[in-house]
Chains A and B, each alone.
Chain A
Amino acid sequence: QKEVEQNSGPLSVPEGAIASLNCTYSDRGSQSFFWYRQYSGKSPELIMFIYSNGDKEDGRFTAQLNKASQYVSLLIRDSQPSDSATYLCAVKQSTDKLIFGTGTRLQVFP
């Protein structure tokens, strides 16, 4: 079992729709969770972080955390073509190491 798992995609959504990106992790002692966006050829850019169970909203983005199910998700409302990128889930494990998933490629079409 991979430490952090994401569906590689691509996930294709029409402009204006909600994109839902999912991530599961194996280390039950993981402390904090991050979503990064990475455009092709660029470095990862932090979108959001979440530490507590439940939802956290920031503009068009909502992160959801369920520690019992070891599941993190990112919702993007009113998706725009400029949101087309790879979204990386990162988990800070109990060892303090930050482990990344392989990323989900999102395509938003007009």
Chain B
Amino acid sequence: DAGVTQSPTHLIKTRGQQVTLRCSPKSGHDTVSWYQQALGQGPQFIFQYYEEEERQRGNFPDRFSGHQFPNYSSELNVNALLLGDSALYLCASSLAGGLDTQYFGPGTRLTVL
């Protein structure tokens, strides 16, 4: 039973660039949530996708956007990168209508120089 997978593992970008992170949910899950975790902080909710639509959104600017594909996989896009965007980006999958227990992928470490 495949768990949540994310790619790439690490990424280095410069300010102003754009980045795309990818996530495949756990087998049988249909909902994907994205989180940003800065060093020493808890994960901060960015948004959640279900049925290819953004269902919920946290307090993140429009530079953060996403997409969900028919196979439930998802992408997180960040435009005009800032130094403060350096963080661990976590994807979590869950089953809508269930207990909403979220399982995390290994994360993508983004460094913005």
Interface residues on A, range: 20 to 34
Q: Are B45 and A43 in contact (CB under 8 A)?
A: no
In A6-52, the 8 Å CB interface with B consists of 32, 34, 36, 42-46, 49, 51
Main secondary structure of the interface of B (DSSP, over half): loop
Stretch of B11-19, B62-70, B76-84, B103-111 that contacts chain A? B103-111
Question: B53 CB to closest chain A CB, in angstroms?
Answer: 14
B106 near A98 with CB under 8 A, answer no
Within 74-110 of A, Cβ neighbours of B (below 8 Å) are at: 88, 92, 95-103
Residues of B within 8 A of A46 (CB): 101-104
Question: A88-B43, A98-B45, A101-B42 given as contacts; is B90 within 8 A of A43 (CB)?
Answer: yes
CB-CB under 8 A from A101, the residues of chain B are: 42
A52 CB, nearest partner CB in chain B, Å: 12
**Count of chain B residues near A, Cβ 8 A:** 22
Nearest-CB residue, chain A, relative to B33: A98
Within 8 A of A (CB), among B52-107: 56, 58, 88, 90, 99-107
| Interface mask (B34-45 → A, CB under 8 Å = 1, otherwise 0) | 010000111111
Q: Closest approach, in angstroms, between the C-beta of B58 and any C-beta of chain A?
A: 7
Q: Cβ of B101 and Cβ of A49 under 8 Å apart?
A: yes
- Report A79 CB to chain B, min CB distance, Å: 22
Residue of A34, A44, A100 with highest tally of chain B CB at under 10 A: A44
Chain B residues close to A by CB (< 8 Å)? 33, 35, 40-45, 48, 56, 58, 88, 90, 99-107
- Where the two chains meet, the residues of A that have a C-beta atom closer than 8 Å to any C-beta of B are 4, 32, 34, 36, 42-46, 49, 51, 88, 92, 95-103
